[in-house]
């Protein structure tokens, strides 16, 4: 039995205009088929899993699948007590994914790598799909949000991801409360969300998750000193204000902030990405935003690329495709077809 929901393809993951919602439930199939239907559905949504159905009642499951730009997330309600990602299931395949699980109702626990994260309503936790894990719920009913990310999507926000799994992030703090409120609001108003806003919304949610993960003890091998943090802030401010300058380089930055190039490289050693890669990604993101802006429809792709520091149109096009899964022209054409760019 196959489900009607398919994960984002590589080209779709690069399309920031996607906004869609779909809901499926075991109540739509005969009772004798519900267990198979539910396990097939959650395997298609996440990764290959084993499910322990309740012994005292028929299996129930209801899932709402949402796509916003490059982000897909589900609202899942079920009475299934235990889900396992076993070595055998891992060998069957699946991408290099992480799951962020947000507990809405009921209580649960994620067990992975010798750690157990207990989840109360509002708490969230990170799980690695490339390693075995077990997700257990202690009541007859649970309600969770689950967001699935490729490793590279989160690595731009925080390092040491493997050390952050199965560690509870409290819903009682500012980040946890903000994350749950954002997803509740987006899910409620998804039908009114304009495709041109999808990228910004998905990036905002990802940024909040990254901010929460960076508060965990394992987020950095060692915390930078006050002086190092000061220098990092100066470097980032200089990069932001000179991002469109094609002459921006490690040497020019070092000269501007009065530090050696070697010193700057050491400062970024514990960052998720090297400085040069961060500049490259920020420029590509800026180009993608401009290509989506209806006010800039009269500017060519090359003009936009050159305005953000690129000096080779062919290299820019290759880099854009590598980062987002489609060429700048393909992405812009899709926006026109959706009415985002007239």
Number of Cα atoms under 13 Å in the Cβ half of residue 277: 12
User: 125-141 burial by CB neighbour count: b if 16+ within 10 A, else e?
Assistant: bbbbbeebbbbbbeeee
Same domain for 248 and 213: no
What's the CATH number where 48 sits? 2.60.120.10
Same domain for 177 and 76: yes
The pLDDT-based confidence of 116 (bands split at 50, 70, 90) is: very high
Q: Are 110 and 135 in contact (CB under 8 A)?
A: yes
Same domain for 162 and 15: yes
For residue 270, is it within any domain? yes
Task: List pLDDT tens digits, range 266-316.
Answer: 888 877 778 998 899 889 988 988 888 778 888 999 999 999 999 999 999
Same domain for 154 and 41: yes
User: Picking from 5-14, 113-122, 295-304, which range would have the lowest pLDDT averaged per residue?
Assistant: 5-14
φ, ψ for residue 270, nearest 5 deg: -100, 10
For residue 203, is it within any domain? yes
Question: What is the average per-residue pLDDT within 90-98?
Answer: 80
Same domain for 149 and 88: yes
pLDDT at 46: 83
The pLDDT-based confidence of 127 (bands split at 50, 70, 90) is: very high
Judged against a pLDDT cut of 90, whether residue 81 lies above it is answered with no
φ, ψ for residue 224, nearest 5 deg: -70, 150
Judged against a pLDDT cut of 90, whether residue 70 lies above it is answered with no
Task: List pLDDT tens digits, range 178-197.
Answer: 998 999 898 888 888 877 78
Q: Are 12 and 18 in contact (CB under 8 A)?
A: yes
For residue 30, is it within any domain? yes
pLDDT at 109: 93
Q: Which of 170, 188, 219 is the last residue of a domain?
A: 219
For residue 1, is it within any domain? no
pLDDT at 297: 84
Same domain for 31 and 76: yes
What's the CATH number where 266 sits? 1.10.10.60
In whole angstroms, what is the distance from residue 319 CA to residue 312 CA?
Answer: 11
- Choose between 235 and 87: higher pLDDT: 235
Tell me the average pLDDT of the chain. 83
pLDDT at 225: 65
For residue 149, is it within any domain? yes
pLDDT at 33: 87
Instruction: Take residue 188 and report the two structure tokens written for it.
Output: 């409620």
The pLDDT-based confidence of 337 (bands split at 50, 70, 90) is: low
25 beta partners = 62
pLDDT at 314: 92
Judged against a pLDDT cut of 90, whether residue 317 lies above it is answered with yes
Q: Which of 219, 235, 254 is the last residue of a domain?
A: 219
In whole angstroms, what is the distance from residue 66 CA to residue 318 CA?
Answer: 30
pLDDT at 16: 54
pLDDT at 252: 94
The pLDDT-based confidence of 7 (bands split at 50, 70, 90) is: very low
* pTM exceeds 0.75: no
For residue 4, is it within any domain? no
Domain containing 169: what range?
Answer: 10-219
Same domain for 311 and 256: yes
pLDDT at 110: 93
pLDDT at 8: 43
Question: What is the average per-residue pLDDT within 83-109?
Answer: 87
In whole angstroms, what is the distance from residue 101 CA to residue 126 CA?
Answer: 7
pLDDT at 11: 43
Task: List pLDDT tens digits, range 10-32.
Answer: 444 445 556 677 888 988 889 88
φ, ψ for residue 113, nearest 5 deg: 60, 35
Judged against a pLDDT cut of 50, whether residue 335 lies above it is answered with yes
Task: List pLDDT tens digits, range 240-252.
Answer: 899 999 999 999 9
**Side-by-side strand order, sheet with 61-68:** 19-25, 61-68, 71-78, 142-150, 97-105, 124-128
pLDDT at 54: 73
Same domain for 201 and 260: no
Same domain for 256 and 122: no
17 beta partners = none
pLDDT at 338: 61
Task: Say how many domains are in the chain.
Answer: 2
Judged against a pLDDT cut of 50, whether residue 341 lies above it is answered with no
Same domain for 184 and 249: no
For residue 75, is it within any domain? yes
pLDDT at 117: 92
Same domain for 256 and 204: no
Q: Which of 203, 219, 235 is the last residue of a domain?
A: 219
Question: What is the average per-residue pLDDT within 97-110?
Answer: 92
Same domain for 194 and 328: no
For residue 133, is it within any domain? yes
Instruction: Take residue 202 and report the two structure tokens written for it.
Output: 């998905």
- Choose between 158 and 301: higher pLDDT: 301
């Amino acid at each position: 039995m196959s489900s009607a929901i398919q994960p984002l393809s590589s080209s779709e993951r690069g399309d920031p205009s996607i906004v869609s919602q779909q809901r499926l439930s075991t109540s739509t199939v005969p009772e004798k088929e519900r267990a198979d239907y539910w396990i097939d559905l959650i395997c298609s949504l996440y990764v290959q899993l084993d499910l322990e159905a309740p012994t005292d009642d028929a299996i129930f499951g209801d899932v709402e699948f949402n796509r916003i730009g490059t982000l897909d997330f589900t609202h899942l309600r079920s009475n299934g007590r235990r889900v396992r990602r076993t070595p055998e299931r891992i060998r069957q395949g699946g991408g290099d994914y992480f799951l962020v699980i947000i507990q809405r109702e009921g209580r649960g626990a994620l067990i992975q790598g010798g750690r157990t994260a207990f989840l109360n309503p509002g708490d969230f936790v990170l799980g690695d799909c490339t390693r075995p894990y077990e997700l257990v719920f202690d009541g007859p009913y649970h309600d969770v949000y689950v967001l699935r990310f490729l490793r590279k999507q989160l690595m731009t926000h925080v390092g040491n991801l493997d050390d952050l799994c199965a560690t509870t992030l409290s819903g009682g703090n500012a980040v946890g409360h903000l994350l749950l409120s954002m997803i509740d609001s987006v899910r409620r108003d998804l039908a009114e969300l304009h495709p041109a806003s999808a990228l910004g919304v998905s990036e905002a949610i990802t940024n909040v998750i990254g901010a929460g993960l960076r508060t965990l003890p394992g987020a950095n091998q060692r915390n930078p000193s006050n002086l190092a943090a000061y220098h990092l802030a100066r470097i980032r401010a200089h990069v932001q204000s000179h991002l469109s300058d094609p002459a921006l380089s490690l040497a020019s930055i070092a000269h501007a902030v009065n530090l050696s190039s070697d010193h700057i490289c050491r400062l970024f050693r514990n960052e998720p990405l090297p400085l040069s890669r961060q500049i490259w990604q920020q420029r590509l993101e800026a180009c993608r935003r401009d290509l989506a802006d209806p006010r800039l429809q009269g500017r060519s792709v090359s003009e936009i690329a050159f305005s953000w520091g690129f000096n080779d149109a062919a290299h820019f096009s290759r880099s854009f495709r590598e980062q987002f899964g489609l060429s700048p022209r393909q992405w812009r054409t899709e926006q026109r077809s959706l009415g985002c760019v007239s």
